[in-house]
Every structure is written in C-alpha cells, then in structure tokens.
C-alpha cells in the first residue's frame, strides 16, 4: 500500500499592515498638534497681522487673578467677553519683593522698567522714568485715563506722575494737571480742593482752578458728563474719594466704568494721530482686600462689560489694539463648588452692613437687608463677635463668613504671587503670547507704538 503523505502545512503569509506603529503615532501627534492649535486660536481670535496699531487701549482689572475670572464666569452663568482673547500669563514681581504692589506693577506697564515696591515711575536711583502716556502725548497722540479709584491712586498715577512714594497723592494731583491729558475720568475730588472747600490741599491751592487755567473743562456730575463735551481736555471727578462700588452705585448719580470708557473713546477717536487710553477696574482690588465676594464679582462683571465695549470699538475701528492685563492678584482667592445665589442676593457690602449695625440698626435686620441671610450659626457668631485669635476688622470677618457659605476662600487680605492672565486683540496682539514678565508688556507697547522714550519727564 502506498503511504499517505502527510498534508503539508500551508505557510501563513503575514500581511503587512498598511500603517506601521510609528506611522500611527506620527498621525496622532499631528492631529493633537492641529487640535491644540485650533483650540488656541479659538481662544485668541486676534488678526494675524504684522501691522502696528494706531490706537491702543490698555485695560487693567486690578487684582483679578485666574480664580477671580472663574468666579465671575460662574456668577454670570456663561462665558465672559474677555475669555476668547486669552493669549498668555504675566509674572508680576517687583525688583525687591516677590509679591508686588500696584505702583511697581503699573510702573512696569507704563515704562517697561521693573522698579521697587511703592514707587511711581521712578527708577532705583530716584530718577523719573518716561512713561508710555507721556511719550504718546509727545508723538501727537490723544491720551486718556478712566478709573473707578481716586484718579491719583497708584495705578493711574504711574502713567503721568513720578514720585518715590505712591502715597504722595497731593503731589500726584499736581502732576495730573501738568500732564494735560486729553481726558481723565474717575474719583478723588478731595485731592484737588483746599481744606476750606472740604479738600486735602493746603489753603489757597485749588487745583481745579489751575486745571481750568490750563484749558481743562472740569466736570463733577453725571449730568455734565452726559452733555456734549468740547474737544478741549476734560477732567471729570465724580466722587470725593474712590467711586462707589458697582453693587452700591446709584446709576442716576454716578457713572459706571463702561459709561466713562465709552465717553472717553468718543472723545479720543477724533485724534488724527490715534490715541492711548488706560482703563482700570480699580475696585476689583479694593473688594478683594476686603474679602467681599459680592462686591468683587459685581466689579469684575462690570469690567467685563467694559471689555465688550472696547472690543466692539476695536472691531469698528481697524488699527486699534486692546490689551487686558491685571497688575497682580489680590486676596489669594480659591473658589470651590458652591451656591452663588447668596452673592446674587447681596445688596450691600459687608462694610456697609457692619456700619449700619454700628449706627444702631439691629444686626439681624442689617444682615437680612444686605444679604438675605436670616441668622448666623453659633460658630459664625463666635468668629464674628468673640474670636480673639482673628486679627481682622469685623466687616472683613463678616465678608469671609458670607464667602464661606458660597465655598469661596481668601488666603490673604493683601496681594499674592500668582501669575495673572493677559488678553489681547488687534494688530500686534500676537506679541503678548506665552508667559512673559510685566516689564515685557510695557516694552512691547513701546515697540508697537514706535515710542521715543529718551526724553526727560518734566515736573509740575
């Protein structure tokens, strides 16, 4: 018999995969890079152009850090107007301290130079530093400042004044008149009037009269502001000290940040050589120093409304660059998952509530009127009235109790080291991308505006 042959095993032919492992990895990397790029440009829709701006609006939400932005967004219930313009982060330290103050930080923006704590556009040798505002004026551009603080306060002062101490506001007021800005709007009327008129200047020194002699149109009421303004320089001082918080502002008596900014833009847009306008949401910082979340978030929302106004102006006026950057973070704010309805129901600051109590109103009644809270818990009462370990004023203790109920925590009543976000739109906006130093912001503005900074600033 023939032996049956064992069937031969067929060799399995390995089919080559059309795409190797490395090929798949390469495709994944490319897709990831494209996705990240598209996401970045979605969050920063600036015109990709190398042209230089004719107009520049520098917006400073004083003290607004990353968690503050998140809190404002949660409070609003939808994206903020500024969200889509994020381009980077800014380091804020001064030359001699890690945690800066507003004067050193604003000087970096105003001059491109880092300086020591508490100084107003003065270098480390005591010499005056030329500012962007002064250089723009010399170049023939329109210049303006809009703030909700005293107009002599640290941040605005850095753009037109030069002192070794930010608290020399009586001297800073003289610098403002001397600077002859095209428009300056804010608070601080008392710093321009003599004692005899309820002010702080020495007898016989009425700076408003001096302003009029230099050609300023001086206005002090909302009604005057809303009238048709002449082309000559405008000085508007609408409060004896800081402007009122947005939460407590009477819209029939006091202008908002957005209204003042709109009027300033209308005044400056007629300048043939363009303009430089600095807008500060000053009271965001003041609210954070007071640990008052209700004040803070309402100030942040009003600032964001002003951002929308400025972005619309930039879109309708090609050649306008808008840069939005805080000078530092205030409060060491941390926001957890919490109910923000308490903040939405608040009608008064914690300081106003406490003052009402001190002036004779029953505490429970003052608390209910200001916040809607009917009563405090035992532990909250102990913290507010009895706890001797807490070295904070009572109104800040009350503000923190209200914040805790919304799961909002404040690490400090001062500034922090946190990097702050920077936003930009318009020609030159790509220059601000990445993590940069605060002095870089000033230097990039100087470069984009082709400013000559070699002059010696004059004194009043």
Domains in the chain, number: 2
- Tokens 């001086």 label which residue? 218
Residues in Cβ contact with 312 at an 8 Å cutoff, skipping those fewer than 6 apart:
none
Residues 420 and 357 in one domain: no
Tokens standing for residue 194: 């003599």
Tokens standing for residue 419: 């990097």
Residues 140 and 217 in one domain: yes
What digits encode the pLDDT tens for the residues 399-443? 999 999 999 999 999 999 999 999 999 999 999 999 999 999 999
pLDDT tops 70 at residue 344? yes
Residues 300 and 365 in one domain: no
**Pairing assessment for the beta strands 234-237 and 183-187 based on DSSP bridges:** parallel
The answer to whether residue 232 sits within a structural domain is yes
Tokens standing for residue 292: 């008052």
What digits encode the pLDDT tens for the residues 19-75? 554 444 444 444 444 443 433 444 445 554 558 999 999 999 999 999 999 999 999
The answer to whether residue 13 sits within a structural domain is no
What digits encode the pLDDT tens for the residues 291-313? 999 999 999 999 999 999 999 99
434: β partners: 88
HSE-CB at 100 with a 13 A cutoff on CA atoms is: 33
Instruction: Compute how many other C-beta atoms are within 10 angstroms of the C-beta atom of residue 214.
Output: 13
Residues 199 and 257 in one domain: yes
The answer to whether residue 299 sits within a structural domain is yes
The answer to whether residue 86 sits within a structural domain is yes
Residues 86 and 174 in one domain: yes
What digits encode the pLDDT tens for the residues 172-210? 999 999 999 999 999 999 999 999 999 999 998 999 999
pLDDT tops 70 at residue 272? yes
Sheet order of strands, 275-280 included: 217-219, 234-237, 183-187, 142-150, 275-280, 55-60, 320-324, 420-425, 86-91, 434-437
Helices (H) and strands (E) in the chain, counts: 17, 14
Give 119-123 contacts, CB < 8 A, sequence gap 24+: 119/163, 119/164, 119/165, 119/166, 120/154, 120/157, 120/158, 120/161, 120/162, 120/163, 120/164, 120/165, 120/166, 120/168, 120/172, 121/157, 121/158, 121/159, 121/161, 121/162, 121/457, 122/162, 122/163, 122/164
Residues 247 and 372 in one domain: no
Task: Supply the CATH number for residue 185's domain.
Answer: 3.40.720.10
The answer to whether residue 47 sits within a structural domain is no
Per cent of the chain over pLDDT 90 is 87
Residues 240 and 359 in one domain: no
Q: What is the mean pLDDT of the segment spanning 122-137?
A: 96
pTM of the predicted protein model:
0.89
Give the H or E element holding residue 423. strand 420-425
Burial of 191 from C-beta contacts in 10 A (0-12 / 13-18 / 19+): buried
The answer to whether residue 44 sits within a structural domain is no
Residues 170 and 109 in one domain: yes
Residues 79 and 115 in one domain: yes
The domain in which residue 394 lies consists of 341-405
Phi, psi of 246 (to 5 degrees): -60, -35
Residues 227 and 294 in one domain: yes
pLDDT for position 17: 45
User: Between 11 and 322, whose confidence is greater?
Assistant: 322
Residues 254, 242 contacting (CB under 8 angstroms): no
What digits encode the pLDDT tens for the residues 361-393? 999 999 999 999 999 999 999 999 999 888 999
The answer to whether residue 203 sits within a structural domain is yes
Mean pLDDT score of the chain: 91
**CA 276 to CA 78: how far, in whole Å?**
31
Q: Looking at 371, 387, 405, which one is the last position of a domain?
A: 405
- The string over 114-152, giving b where at least 16 C-beta atoms fall within 10 Å of a residue's C-beta and e elsewhere, is bbbbbbbbbbeeeebbbbbbbbbbeeebbbbbbbbbbbb
Residues 132 and 263 in one domain: yes
pLDDT for position 231: 81
pLDDT tops 80 at residue 4? no
The answer to whether residue 434 sits within a structural domain is yes
pLDDT for position 433: 97
Q: What is the mean pLDDT of the segment spanning 219-227?
A: 95
Instruction: Compute how many other C-beta atoms are within 10 angstroms of the C-beta atom of residue 96.
Output: 14
Give 193-198 contacts, CB < 8 A, sequence gap 24+: 198/240
Residues 283 and 399 in one domain: no
């Amino acid at each position: 018999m023939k032996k049956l042959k064992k069937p031969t095993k067929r060799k399995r032919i390995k089919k080559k995969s059309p795409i190797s492992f490395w090929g798949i990895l390469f495709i994944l990397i490319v897709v990831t890079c494209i996705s990240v790029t598209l996401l970045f440009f979605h969050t920063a829709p600036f015109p990709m152009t190398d042209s230089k701006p004719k107009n520049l609006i520098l917006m400073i939400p004083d003290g607004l850090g990353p968690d503050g932005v998140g809190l404002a967004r949660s409070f609003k219930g939808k994206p903020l107007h500024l969200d889509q313009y994020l381009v980077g982060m800014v380091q804020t330290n001064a030359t001699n301290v890690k945690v800066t103050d507003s004067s050193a930080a604003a000087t970096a923006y105003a001059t491109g130079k880092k300086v020591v704590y508490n100084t107003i556009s003065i270098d480390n040798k005591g010499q005056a530093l030329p500012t962007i505002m002064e250089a723009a004026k010399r170049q023939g551009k329109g210049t303006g400042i809009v703030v909700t603080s005293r107009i002599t306060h640290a941040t605005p002062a850095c753009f037109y004044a030069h002192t070794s101490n930010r608290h020399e506001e009586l001297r800073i007021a003289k610098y403002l008149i001397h600077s002859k800005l095209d428009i300056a709007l804010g608070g601080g009327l008392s710093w321009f009037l003599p004692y005899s008129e309820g002010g702080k200047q020495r007898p016989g020194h009425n700076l408003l009269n001096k302003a009029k002699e230099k050609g300023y149109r001086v206005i002090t009421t909302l009604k005057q502001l809303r009238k048709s303004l002449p082309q000559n320089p405008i000085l508007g001082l609408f409060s004896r000290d800081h402007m009122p918080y947005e939460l407590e502002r009477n819209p029939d008596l006091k202008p908002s940040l957005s209204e003042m900014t709109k009027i300033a833009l209308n005044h400056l847009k007629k300048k043939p050589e363009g303009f430089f306008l600095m807008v500060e949401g000053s009271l965001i910082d003041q609210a954070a120093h007071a640990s008052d979340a209700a004040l803070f978030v309402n100030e942040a929302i009003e600032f964001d409304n002003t951002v929308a106004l400025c972005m619309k102006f930039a879109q309708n006026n090609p050649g306008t660059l808008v840069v939005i950057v805080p000078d530092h973070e205030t409060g060491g704010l941390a926001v957890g998952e919490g109910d923000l309805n308490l903040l939405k129901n608040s009608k008064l600051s914690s300081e106003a509530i406490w003052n009402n109590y001190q002036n004779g109103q029953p505490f429970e009644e003052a608390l209910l009127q200001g916040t809607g809270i009917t009563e405090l818990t035992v532990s909250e009462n102990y913290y507010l009235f009895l706890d001797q370990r807490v070295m904070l004023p009572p109104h800040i203790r009350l503000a923190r109790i209200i914040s805790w109920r919304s799961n909002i925590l404040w690490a400090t009543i001062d500034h922090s080291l946190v990097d702050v976000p920077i936003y930009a739109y318009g020609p030159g906006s790509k220059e601000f991308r990445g993590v940069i130093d605060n002095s870089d912001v000033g230097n990039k503005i100087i470069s984009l505006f082709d400013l000559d900074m070699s002059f010696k600033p004059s004194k009043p």
